[in-house]
Structure 1
Amino acid sequence: MKKFKFFNFLLPFMGVISLTLLLRSPKAPAQSSSVHLTMGNPSGAVNSTSYPNNYLMSKSQYALSYNNTTRIPNWVSWQLNNSWLGSAPRQDDFRADTSLPSAWYRVQGTDYQGSGFDRGHMTPSGDRTRTVTDNSATFLMTNMIPQAPDNNQGPWANLENYSRDLVVNQGKELYIISGGYGVGGTGSNGTQYTIASGKIQVPARTWKIIVVLNTPGSGVSGVTTNTRVIAVDMPNSQGIRNANWKTYRVSVDSIESKTGYNFLSNVPVSTQNVIEARTDNL
């Protein structure tokens, strides 16, 4: 039987401080009614300040696990179908997330300035164009990780566009989870392990998992052993702007082994075992 993997961190990827603090997180997946957690809560995140490095934040537009040590999300999860898309313009109102506990440092919209890294959206602005409010929510800094410009503006952006194309032109519904792991990325100013005077950790890699449902609204019941699942693992570095995102495809199992998370935990284990071992090749 597949085991819950949240504690199986690989030390070389996570860093000693992050590992020690994350191990204080709860051992069982937390339950949530959020549509964005339809496929599961990968780290068992809980909305309690007792778990500052696995702090669940459920917004109308997405859900995430926030890490108050790295000051970036461990992961962000969201649903994408045609109902989320419209004509609202990009707001560009990068700002602190005031829903974080008041005692915690709140990353400011200006904290990435001069760092050589983009304020890299996890839930993209382009995935939330139904209303101005929805689009604005994607500019909260709890939805950002420091991304190398060539990563963010190259294969990462191309995969975002491809995902929306599956929805708009093929009528698919997607459940998407993304984040980073490891420590140390290479931006336009060279390799950095932290930015903002040490306040924000820079991940070494960026990853994303996309569950593609042929029938919108089918939820977990729509996932079978034939369901397409796209998983990518990219270096958070310069020099990859023109790379094809497909070259970074891996299995979900591979990302689980690097992060310690248990993805798609709401899917029956027998189905998980098949779809998580497979690498997308379409």
Structure 2
Amino acid sequence: MTGATGTGIHVFHRATNADYKGSGFDRGHLAAAANHKWSQKAMDDTFYLSNVAPQNPHLNQNTWNNLEKLCRSLTKRYLNVYVCTGPLYLPRQEADGKLYVRYQVIGRNHVAVPTHFFKVLILEQADGKGVELRSYVLPNEPISEQVPLERFLVPIETIERMSGLLFVPNIMKRTAGGVRAIADR
């Protein structure tokens, strides 16, 4: 395969650490390193750039970090906690009244900077009587420490529509109990 190395990812589609240097963005983990402390290799693997997206430093080090801590704390209350995280590129209304998808790119490899990030939590009840869903969308920008995480809860269908991913049909197939979604919108 021309232009590819042993990674299987073509050179045109690879980011490098140099792309982030001086960009003003953190290498934001999608799967948090702190969630993989059971083995050094698992933790090291979270540092591959395929698990990273450009993230506003204030968001990464504060609100996003708090959401990751919440995910870890939920493992004490639920039988299983599954977390799916990803970038979003959402439209915004411009001065002409039309919606446009606009995002910055960084580095020589033009790494796309997400406008938002999502996190879907699938929380399996300890009694085996169902699953609770919590789904969050956060803008890739500084968020005041006073804004509670609950403000970013959205219906799971919102993330399914925005991301093109379907969570609910697959969860329904795998669970005998019901699915209860937590969202205040």
CA distance in 2: counterparts of 1:110 and 1:103, whole angstroms: 14
Higher relative contact order (CA 8 A, sep 6+): 1
Question: Which digits, 9 at most, give the CA deviation of each residue in 1:130-172, with x for residues without a partner?
Answer: 11101000000000111111221222111110111111x3353
Q: Does 1:254 align with 2:163?
A: no
CA distance in 2: counterparts of 1:171 and 1:235, whole angstroms: 28
Q: Does 1:106 align with 2:20?
A: no
Q: Does 1:133 align with 2:37?
A: no
Choose which of 77, 85, 89 in structure 2 pairs with 1:182: 89
Could you list the runs of 5+ residues in structure 2 that have no partner in the other structure?
Answer: 92-101
CA distance in 1: counterparts of 2:68 and 2:129, whole angstroms: 21
Q: Does 1:193 align with 2:89?
A: no
The percent of aligned pairs where both chains have the same amino acid is 24
Specify whether residues 253 and 192 from structure 1 end up closer, same or farther in structure 2 by C-alpha distance, changes over 3 A only: closer
CA distance in 1: counterparts of 2:136 and 2:53, whole angstroms: 16
Letter in 1 for 2:122: V
Choose which of 178, 182, 185 in structure 2 pairs with 1:279: 182
Between structures 1 and 2, the one with greater helix share: 2
How many positions carry a matched residue from both structures?
168
Q: Does 1:202 align with 2:110?
A: no
Structure 1 runs (4+) greater than 6 angstroms displaced: none
Give the alignment of 1:1-40 within 5 angstroms. none
Choose which of 125, 129, 132 in structure 2 pairs with 1:228: 132
CA distance in 1: counterparts of 2:13 and 2:111, whole angstroms: 10
Secondary structure of 1:160's counterpart equals helix
CA root-mean-square deviation: 2.9
Secondary structure of 1:161's counterpart equals helix
CA distance in 1: counterparts of 2:6 and 2:71, whole angstroms: 30
CA distance in 2: counterparts of 1:223 and 1:116, whole angstroms: 45
- 1:156–1:245 CA contact under 8 A, matched in 2: no
Q: Using the TM superposition, give the Cα deviation of residue 196 of structure 1 relative to its aligned residue in structure 2, in angstroms.
A: 0.7
Aligned to 2:122: 211
Secondary structure of 1:253's counterpart equals helix
Between structures 1 and 2, the one with greater strand share: 2
Aligned to 1:144: 52
- 1:122–1:143 CA contact under 8 A, matched in 2: yes
- 1:230–1:280 CA contact under 8 A, matched in 2: yes
Q: Does 1:157 align with 2:61?
A: no
Could you list the runs of 5+ residues in structure 1 that have no partner in the other structure?
Answer: 1-48, 50-96, 185-190, 217-221
Question: Which digits, 9 at most, give the CA deviation of each residue in 1:86-141, with x for residues without a partner?
Answer: xxxxxxxxxxx963335544212232111111100000011000111010000000
CA distance in 1: counterparts of 2:172 and 2:71, whole angstroms: 25
Specify whether residues 240 and 223 from structure 1 end up closer, same or farther in structure 2 by C-alpha distance, changes over 3 A only: farther
